Chain A
Amino acid sequence: SQQGEEDPQALSIQEGENATMNCSYKTSINNLQWYRQNSGRGLVHLILIRSNEREKHSGRLRVTLDTSKKSSSLLITASRAADTASYFCATDGEGASGSRLTFGEGTQLTVNP
């Protein structure tokens, strides 16, 4: 079953603008991860945030986690055309081995030059 749901399904912005994508999930988690997928390629890990963390940064990426609302957001600042891709959140279940992730359906981001 799909645990994570991304919002919006598609997002189109201009280069230089910020892009925000949201993820909601249903059950308690140990951690939440964000992945990126270029068209027709495999997924690439971007960032992981643990259930006891509220915010994490990596370069132009900022991730927040609100466990009370069971939601996370991914912010990409100063976007570039090369950021065009699909972005997925993935969660593991609390108490699980941590080796089995459930992915959402993704947000398709288009950054126009």
Chain B
Amino acid sequence: DGGITQSPKYLFRKEGQNVTLSCEQNLNHDAMYWYRQDPGQGLRLIYYSQIVNDFQKGDIAEGYSVSREKKESFPLTVTSAQKNPTAFYLCASSIGTGTVKNTGELFFGEGSRLTVL
């Protein structure tokens, strides 16, 4: 079945460590996104990529890094520079803007919950 796979589902990190969250999609979507969700709140955009080998900062990019070397993959690294990384991280994809089929609808993974010890 087509979809988005995030791993790991749960992750614990010690202060000062970098961690990488995986996001893979087999929907053949051009665009991919990373959102952060804090308890009882909405989603805030960290980074997004509209095409391979290109990505842009979202609203809260500080302390995070991404890469987009393959169309299917958009990993997120939470660096030690992120002051408050404990949160629920959601990856999403969409068809992309270069097609008339694009409605802007996002398809989400099941999320990764990161806890800093």
Real complex partners, A and B?
yes
Residues of A within 8 A of B (CB): 1-2, 4, 30-31, 33, 35, 40-45, 48, 88, 90, 92, 97-106, 108
Q: Evaluate contact between A101 and B103: CB separation under 8 angstroms.
A: no
Q: Given the interface contacts A41-B110, A42-B111, A99-B50, does A31 sit within 8 Å of B43 by beta carbon?
A: no
| Further pairs besides A2-B42, A43-B92, A97-B97: 13, Cβ < 8 Å | A2-B44, A33-B104, A33-B105, A33-B106, A40-B113, A42-B90, A43-B43, A43-B108, A45-B106, A98-B97, A99-B97, A99-B102, A100-B48
Q: Evaluate contact between A42 and B108: CB separation under 8 angstroms.
A: yes
Q: Evaluate contact between A92 and B110: CB separation under 8 angstroms.
A: no
In the complex, which of the residues A30, A92, A99, A104 contacts B31, with contact meaning CB atoms closer than 8 Å?
A: A99
Given the complex, which residues of A lie within 8 Å of B111, measured CB to CB? 40-42
Q: What is the bound-complex CA distance between A42 and B40, given in angstroms?
A: 14
Given the complex, which residues of B lie within 8 Å of A43, measured CB to CB? 43, 90, 92, 106, 108
CB within 8 Å of A: which of B46-99? 48, 50, 58-59, 88, 90, 92, 94, 96-97
In the complex, which of the residues B97, B104, B110 contacts A42, with contact meaning CB atoms closer than 8 Å?
A: B110
Kindly list the 4 A-B residue pairs having the minimum CB-CB distance in the complex, ordered from nearest: A42-B108, A105-B42, A103-B42, A103-B43
A-B contact pairs, 25 of them (CB 8 A): A30-B104, A31-B103, A33-B105, A41-B111, A42-B4, A42-B92, A42-B109, A42-B110, A43-B92, A45-B107, A48-B104, A88-B43, A90-B106, A92-B104, A97-B97, A98-B97, A99-B31, A99-B94, A99-B96, A100-B45, A100-B48, A101-B104, A102-B45, A106-B41, A108-B40
Q: What is the bound-complex CA distance between A113 and B106, given in angstroms?
A: 31
Q: Evaluate contact between B42 and A106: CB separation under 8 angstroms.
A: yes
